[in-house]
Amino acid sequence: MHGHGHGYAPQQPPPPAGGSPVTLRVLFVVLAVVTCGLLAWAPLLRLVIATRKAYDWVVFALVTALDVTGLVLIGVDPGEEEFQGPGNTGMVILLCTLMAAVAYYLFADIRHFSRLRQPAFTAYAPPPAPPAAQPAYGCPSGPPPVQETTPAPPAPARIHQVRAELDELSDYLRKQQGGN
- Is residue 74 in a domain? yes
**Structural domain range at position 54:** 21-117
Q: What is the total count of domains within the chain? A: 1
SS3 of residue 151 by DSSP: coil
Taking Cα atoms as reference points, which of 23, 75, 18, 65 lies closest to residue 40?
Answer: 65
| pLDDT in 10s for each residue of the chain, 180 residues | 555 556 565 555 555 555 688 899 999 999 999 999 999 999 999 999 999 999 999 999 999 999 999 999 999 998 888 888 899 999 999 999 999 999 999 999 999 988 877 665 555 555 666 666 665 566 556 666 666 665 555 767 778 888 888 888 888 888 888 765
pTM, two decimals, is 0.55
Q: Which helix (H) or strand (E) holds 41?
A: helix 41-51
CB crowding 153-165: b at 16 or more within 10 Å, else e: eeeeeeebbebbb
Say if 126 falls within a structural domain: no
Would 67 be classed as within a structural domain?
yes
The answer as to whether 10 is a domain residue is: no
pLDDT digits (tens, 9 = 90+) for 143-177: 666 666 655 557 677 788 888 888 888 888 888 88
